[in-house]
Amino acid sequence: MTQPFDSIPETALAWHREGRGAVLATVVETWGSAPRRVGAQLAISGDGQIEGSVSGGCVEGAVIIEAQEALELGEHRLLTFGVSDGDAFAVGLACGGTIRVLVEPVGTVLSEAMLADLVAARAARTPVAYEVNLETGTRRLLRDGYPDRMRMDRSGFEEDGQTFVAIHNPPLRLIVVGAVHIAQALVPMARIAGYDPAVIDPRDTFASRARFPETRILHDWPDEAVAELGLDSRTALVLLTHDPKLDDPALEAGLRANCFYIGALGSTRTHAKRVDRMRAAGFADVQIARIHGPVGLDIGAASPAEIAVSILAEMTAVLRGRAQ
């Protein structure tokens, strides 16, 4: 399975509370072929222990020195590094680039309370934006701000050039109801795309470890399994059993929740019957319209693998705001 999170903010908070001192270093801007994307972080303890990376190894040594000096002085620093072609090649890049790194000591610049709130939000799978104005030093956490950045997982500077926004989104999850052939293709594809998948099917013969290796499998009834897993804004729910008594309980849970994608297998006629059942269950048309059925983009898919490709493509389009 994919790891649920990096643990860099959590590690920095622990080091600070242990009295070792801690600094968070964050990539805030890049040019060229920079080794790490904007938002990448490195935690540095007062005694020089590190976790994470801001450059794949190119400039970590210099960042550590600057971080320990900033920790002593209780100030933030904005560092600029040029990564040479030689250093870039050493970490697997074709050419060099430039990165800017924000260094923030915990407890003085970044308050313990704010870092603790960030860690708590991450543990609760609550999307949160950390905003810092480098000119004024103002810092805050926003749970409802920057929806476009949240959707695109895009940290970066605002137009004023002084306000940096770091996006902390929960990891993506895929919950599949129905351990069918399409699911066997979709699960590994989704894992490659960064999803942590789980498969729900009360039928042991279908939902077996042999068919879904290294995947969380739940043999409970779908509504119970979905309740155990939870549904949130970073979860995609895909229904593949083609059997209303299995699909519908999970579908109803999905319509009541805030998952970003709901897809259901079946023909146009099958979906029309599904819509009628959801109306009879008391759901409004605006809720029912969230269901993507027939599931997947219309790419002429025929085989289970091709259908899986179409589903993953549609999930991506919805997540990134490109679905029509």
* Boundary (domain end) residue, out of 120, 147, 168: 168
> Residue 35: its pLDDT value, please?
64
Assign 91 a pLDDT band (cuts: 50, 70, 90). Answer: very low
pLDDT of residue 85: 52
Check whether residue 231 and residue 130 sit in a common domain.
no
- Mean pLDDT (whole number) for 91-99: 58
**Which pLDDT does position 83 carry in this prediction?**
63
Chosen domain end from 168, 188, 209: 168
307 shares a domain with 293: yes
User: Chain-wide mean pLDDT for the chain?
Assistant: 91
Residue 101: give the domain boundaries: 8-168
* Confidence at residue 237, expressed as pLDDT on a 0 to 100 scale: 98
Least confident span in 81-90, 164-173, 257-266: 81-90
17 & 154 share domain: yes
pLDDT for 219 equals: 95
Backbone angle region of 52, left / alpha / beta, with phi > 0 → left and psi within -120 to 50 → alpha: left
Burial 200-214 (b: 16+ CB within 10 A, else e): bbbeeebbeeebbee
CB 179 within 8 A of CB 207: yes
18 and 66 inside one domain = yes
Give per-residue pLDDT as tens, 226-277: 999 999 999 999 999 989 999 999 999 999 998 999 999 999 999 999 999 9
Give yes or no for residue 163 having a pLDDT over 80: yes
pLDDT exceeds cutoff 90 at 86? no
- Of 75-89, 132-146, 211-225, 236-250, which gets the smallest average pLDDT? 75-89
Query: Residue for token digits 């779908």?
Result: 222
Please check whether residue 308 lies inside any domain of the structure.
yes
Strand 50-52 and strand 41-45: pairing?
antiparallel
Instruction: Provide, rounded to the nearest whole percent, the portion of the chain with pLDDT above 70.
Output: 92
3-state secondary structure of 67: helix
**204 and 131 share one domain:** no
- The confidence score (pLDDT) of residue 322 equals 84
What pTM, to 2 d.p., does this model score? 0.81
